[in-house]
Amino acid sequence: MVINKKLLIGVPLAFMLAVVYLGATHHWAGLAKSVAAASDKSERKVLFWYDAMEPSHHYNKPGKAPDGMDLVPMYETQSPASGGQNSPGAPAEPSKGERKILYWFDPMHPKYKSDKPGVAPDCGMTLVPKYADEQRLTNMTAGTVMISADKQTLAGVRTALVERKALIRDIHTTAQIVADETRIAHVHVKVAGYLDQVFVDFVGQLIQKGQPLFTLYSPDLVSAQEEYLIAKRGETTLGSAPFTEVADGAKSLLRSARERLRLWDISDEQIKQLDETGKVTKDLTFYAPSSGFITDRKAFPQTSITPDTELYTLSDLSTVWANADIYESEIPYVQLGQKMQLTLSYSPGKTYTGTISYIYPTVDPQTRTVKVRMQVPNPGFALKPQMFADAQLRVDYGTKVLVPREAILDSGTEQVIYVLHDGGVFEPRKVTLGPAFEEKVAVLTGLKAGETIVTSGNFLVDSESRLKGSMGGARP
């Protein structure tokens, strides 16, 4: 209040004090009215407190929400959906962009419904709103939940499309070259005797089938030759005898003598030579039963031998085996007849193709691998036993539905993937998984190509789904 000093001249002091007193009284009266109004506001009845970021989350006392925001009181004369402008008992009318609330219900006893927010009369739980857009969730899979776009962003939810692609997998491993055991021959003689000459005299020598190996003197072989010649002369003399029994006996004796020589590995050419010359050969030559490399030798000149003596070991390396170690988890995808590629680190550009011929029935307890045997042609003998090679097996699984590995929630007894529908609806799907390939997993049942699934934040989506299931309704 502005007072003109000129007007104060000549004014009695009592009058001036009266004016000041009346002005102060008017000021304090206005202040008292403001305090009374604030007091009336503070005395309004508080129904509950709620999270300003998540108005559907209600609490019975003041404090802080899980997101750190201070809880806001909800008075009897206002509604969170309408910004506090509705009258008591009137349902909130949704403004543009807001979700329509059908009613409020007791989460512990969903059958109890109310047309306004508040507290359940039986258990004291805060009533939860039921939104109109949640009605369609009732016809979907149990556990389906609706999550707003804002909450999806806060939860870090990311999605991806389900793909159907041709699936080819390469298995890389190490293989060891070994000799083909079905092409190994051991040379023995069937009579005791003495080696005279040895024609193959070092390990590693390549020989051909029918090549002479050594000469053998054996008293038993000499006697067998003499018996054969005697039987032959008897057959010549008695074969045309008038008595049938005598002629047949001479012929039978000759056949037996010839068969005895054959059983002792005397060749037909040597028997023919014996027929032509009529003379016994002291040293008989023995020949290689097959082609291959000499990998072991015990035949030396002027050595006494018996049928137990292993004189040579022959290995035919024109075809070799390659034993590859495959992890036990990959064995189900390996089949007989599949092709494998072999390469040598020191021979770039050269590839050998083998065929899987056998899968061993045991697992190595140290490496947890199973041996797989391949049969590999070896022209030029470039692949040598005990070599190591890089092996690659290509497995074609056909066309499969593929999802990222992180999209799967595996509880041990079941696998679940969340599918995103329009309007922020997340549906849990139980799936059957197939083979895994690096960061992708094949899904055999439960999904189809083109659907949108959650790849990140699915744990939070699952938590919201379980919370919704325990409360008997969808949580936005």
Query: pLDDT tens digits for 334-356?
Result: 999 999 999 998 888 899 999 99
Per-residue pLDDT band for 321 (boundaries 50, 70, 90) equals: very high
| Residue 65 zone, left/alpha/beta (φ > 0; ψ -120 to 50; rest) | beta
Position 6 pLDDT exceeds 60: no
Per-residue pLDDT band for 53 (boundaries 50, 70, 90) equals: low
Q: Which residues contact 472 (CB under 8 A, 6 or more apart)?
A: 107, 110
Position 91 pLDDT exceeds 90: no
Q: Which residues contact 426 (CB under 8 A, 6 or more apart)?
A: 144, 145, 146, 147, 418, 419, 420, 454, 461, 464, 465
372-410 pLDDT, tens digit each: 999 999 989 999 999 999 999 988 888 889 999 999 998
CA 293 to chain centre: 44
Best-predicted range by mean pLDDT among 136-145, 190-199, 329-338? Answer: 190-199
Task: Tell me the whole-structure pTM to 2 decimals.
Answer: 0.58
Which among 431, 421, 419, 423 has a CA at the least distance from the CA of 458? 419
271-309 pLDDT, tens digit each: 888 888 888 889 999 999 999 999 999 999 999 999 999
Average per-residue pLDDT in the chain?
A: 80
What SS3 string covers the chain? CCCCHHHHCCCCHHHHHHHHHHHHHHHHHHHHHHHHHHHHHHCCCEEEEECCCCCCCEECCCCECCCCCECEEEECCCCCCCCCCCCCCCCCCCCCCCCCEEEEECCCCCCCEECCCCECCCCCCECEEEEHHHHHHHHCCCCCEECCHHHHHHHCCEEEECEEEEEEEEEEEEEEEEECHHHEEEECCCCCEEEEEECCCCCCCEECCCCEEEEEECHHHHHHHHHHHHHHHHHHHHCCCCCHHHHHHHHHHHHHHHHHHHHCCCCHHHHHHHHHHCCCCCEEEEECCCCEEEEEECCCCCCEECCCCCCEEEECCCEEEEEEEEECCCHHHCCCCCEEEEEECCEEEEEEEEEEEEECCCCECCCCEEEEEEEEECHHHCCCCCCEEEEEEEEEEEEEEEEEHHHCEECCCCEEEEEEECCCEEEEEEEEEEEEECCEEEEEECCCCCCEEEEECHHHHHHHHHHHHHHCCCCC
- Parallel, antiparallel, or unpaired for β 72-75 and 46-50? antiparallel
* Mean of pLDDT values over 83-111: 58
127-172 pLDDT, tens digit each: 878 766 565 555 567 778 888 888 888 888 999 999 898 888 888 9
pLDDT at residue 95, as a whole number: 46
Q: Higher confidence at residue 84 or residue 149?
A: 149
